[in-house]
Amino acid sequence: MADITPVDYIWKNGEMVPWAEANTHVLSHSLHYGSGVFEGIRCYQDPDSKKSYVFRLRDHMERLHRSCKMVLIDLPYTVDELCDATVELIRKNNLPACYIRPIVYRGYGVMGVDPTGAPADVAIAVWPWDSYLGADALENGVAVGVSSWRQRSNNAIPPAIKATASYMNSILAKLEAKSHGYAEAIMLNEAGLVCEGTGENLFVVRDGILSTPPLSDGLLEGITRDTVLCLADDLEIPSVEESLTRSDLYIADEVFMTGSAAELTPIGSVDGRVVGKPGDITRALQERFFDLVYGRIEEYADWLIEI
């Protein structure tokens, strides 16, 4: 996990604000009650052509709007306005590649569990960010452990909401995993079925078939997850959404995680059970994924915005 590298500007409430001046009052409602929603997005630069693209920006901003709708925050900017602001911000900071963090939160004005009257603050930050789980994670995979912390149910902070409050659960699982020597945690749901990582969706491969838990098992509707399912179809890799148990992780031929931050990260072991080096299907999907985000696959051009 890399530290944040400051850049020149953050977009906040419709204005470009110098990085050091993008402040929030300590009595902002969301700071005390976790009532914010956010997204994680990446801008990629093709190492060959040097062209830069934001990946599935509109899809992320549409999900941000859906999250706001579910938590009853009136988001005062349209999807188009948020997309335009993001592109302008990346250009103003002169970043050929970066991580993008839009966030909507209830600001200063009221206190107490009832947020009525709290203003909606909207910010977009960008900064350079390489591999989420370490320099060699994409190449060699990482060790993970199944957490004792369970993922919340569909009726307790619904997983369809990418909410700041949800990530307290992820923090607890991540810290537990680190204390056990793992790079990442896998959380089960309350029924004991495989759910997701602390910020990633999960895939397993067994006997040539790609499997991932269904959304009904309590996981975020991941945009990278959807991308991988599309790419599997391109490559004629059989795929299925099905409930998975902890044992399915132990006996899988390949396991990997997906997410805007994690991209497509292989898993080398689960609870000390060796999965092994990234397999053929993981490698094929990784290669196809990076060809896509680097702008090398024409049929996915609509998913990219050139900077």
What are the tens digits of pLDDT across the range 200-220?
999 999 999 999 999 999 999
**pLDDT score of 135:** 67
Assess whether pLDDT exceeds 60 at residue 299.
yes
Question: If you average pLDDT over residues 123-128, what whole number do you get?
Answer: 97
> Please, what sign has the CA dihedral across residues 178, 285, 65, 187?
negative
CB burial readout 245-282, b (16+ within 10 A) else e: eeebbbebbbbbbbbbbbbbbbbbbbeeeebeebbebb
- Give the per-residue pLDDT at 167: 95
Give the residue-averaged pLDDT of 47-56: 97
- pTM, entire model: 0.95
Cα(56)–Cα(164) distance, rounded to whole angstroms? 21
What pLDDT does residue 217 have? 96
Average pLDDT estimate for 183-195: 97
- By the 10 Å C-beta count (0-12 exposed, 13-18 middle, 19+ buried), 214 is classed as middle
Nearest to 256 by CA among 284, 291, 294: 284
For the chain, the residue count is 307
pLDDT band at 122 (very low <50, low <70, confident <90, very high): very high
Phi and psi (nearest 5°) for 69?
Answer: -60, -45
Over 80: is that where the pLDDT of 132 sits? Answer: no
Maximum Cα interatomic distance, the chain, rounded to a whole number of Å = 57
For residue 99, give Cα distances in angstroms to 44, 129, 210, 261: 9, 6, 28, 8
Q: How many CB atoms are located within 10 Å of the residue 208 CB? A: 11
Mean pLDDT lowest for which of 73-77, 150-154, 162-166, 289-293? 150-154
Query: pLDDT > 90: what percent of the chain?
Result: 92
Q: Cite the active site residues.
A: 162
Average pLDDT rounded to a whole number, residues 223-251? 98
Residue type, 273: R
Non-local CB neighbours of 65 within 8 Å, separated by 6+ positions: 75, 79
Q: Which of 59-73, 146-160, 282-296 has the lowest mean pLDDT?
A: 146-160
Q: Region 155-164: what's the mean pLDDT?
A: 93
Kindly indicate the confidence band of residue 286, based on its pLDDT and cuts at 50, 70 and 90. very high
b (16+ CB within 10 A) / e for 47-66: eeeeebbbbbbebbbbbbbe
Name the percent of the chain lying above pLDDT 70.
99
What per-residue confidence (pLDDT) applies to 130?
A: 81
Band the pLDDT of 2: cuts 50, 70, 90.
low
Rounded Cα distance, 80 and 149, in Å = 38
Backbone angles phi, psi at 295, to 5 degrees: 80, 25
Distance (Å, rounded) from C-alpha 101 to C-alpha 124?
A: 6
Q: What value does the mean pLDDT take over residues 95-108?
A: 98
Does residue 232 have a pLDDT over 60?
Answer: yes
Query: Could you give the C-alpha distances from 212 to 66, 245, 276, in angstroms and in order?
Result: 23, 11, 19
Computed over every residue of the chain, the mean pLDDT equals 96
Examine the pLDDT at 1 and tell me if it is beyond 60: no
Answer yes or no: are the C-beta atoms of 138 and 286 closer than 8 Å.
yes
Residues 6+ apart with CB under 8 A from 112: none
> What pLDDT is stored for residue 138 in this prediction?
87
Domains of the chain: 9-127 (3.30.470.10), 137-293 (3.20.10.10)
